[in-house]
Every structure is written in C-alpha cells, then in structure tokens.
Structure 1
C-alpha cells in the first residue's frame, strides 16, 4: 500500500461504489497513504480501461482480473476480505437465472 503514496490512482466513486470507496479510504488513512486520486469511477471496466490508458493504477477485486485487459499488470495486494451476496426473486422465471445459479454462483462460493 505504501507504494501507492503520491502515485496517480483511479479510485472508486463514493456514490456508485460506496463499499469499495470506504474500504480503500479507511485503509489508506490507517496506513498514512495519500495517493494522487486522478478519477473517481463506479465501474471496474472503466477503471481497467483508464489503467490500460496509463492514467493511473487501481485496486480491484480479484474476480475482475477475468476481464482480461491486455497490457495490464496484475499484482496481489492483501486487503480486508470483501463479502458479496446475490439476490433474486423466488418467482423469477427468466431462463438465464438458472444458468447463472448453475454456472456462475458456484465460482464465487468458498472452497
């Protein structure tokens, strides 16, 4: 984290990605790190595009590395665990929901 002090950083939006913004802001404050925040972004796709364009660095969830932006170097940084939940209506008959529950949800469950 100390390596980010004073460096151009693409931060999560306090409005669109509040949990991630709060988590990183708290972590930076605890560690006395003050990055040079160049943008506040709500979507990880946009963050990665800005990193790819050389605007700055970003901290993203490990799962977002599956987006495969060519030219981006990914390094693991230990942070607090982020818990995610999914929700859907019991009476949702959208066929894609079955596929989602079968194919996607298991990849996010703790092994």
Structure 2
C-alpha cells in the first residue's frame, strides 16, 4: 500500500474502529479477493466489534492498494459514506504496467486497471 493511503487509514483509524461493523465489509473484501476466508474468520473470532474493526484495519494496512480500494468501496456500498469520505483523499492511483495487454482486476464494484 502506498504511503498516502497508509497515512490516511492511520489518521482515521479511531473513527473507523468505533463505527464500522465488519461482517458485511468483509463479505465484499473476500468477494474481491483481497481478504481470505481465514483472515475473515480470524476477525470474526474477536470478542468485541471494536476489536474486530481494529484487526481488520491492521490487516488492511499490511496489504496492497487494491485492498484499500476494496475497503473504501465496501464502506460506500454498506452506507458508511461519511467514513468513506474520510478515506477518499488516500485512494491510490492504481495503474497496470506500461504494456497494453495487462489484464485489469475485477472487484465486486467493477474493473480496476
């Protein structure tokens, strides 16, 4: 994940941990292939909603730009528009390599180059 995305996520970590409910967010992220079912289960096993959200964010911080985008889109899709707005400035520019034959990445929200 690029530094701008990481910093944005860290800056708004407390608000995200306080407000998000992870099950539906994780469903989207597993569907996008950026979170494994094993990681999802690990988050679900946490004792409180805030601990589940904290672990999910910790996992996202260790992943790539596609994970950040998937998380952002999941927030939008699940009605967390205010939280998604906090992360909007950190959305990474995702570009493929310079060759034109690169295949884009499919998410539950569409195609990302």
| Pair in the same fold by TM > 0.5 | no
Does 1 or 2 have the higher relative contact order (CA < 8 Å, sep 6+)?
A: 2
Q: Which structure is higher in strand share?
A: 1
TMscore range, shorter length: under 0.3
- Between structure 1 and structure 2, the one with the greater Rg is 1
Q: Which structure is higher in helix share?
A: 2
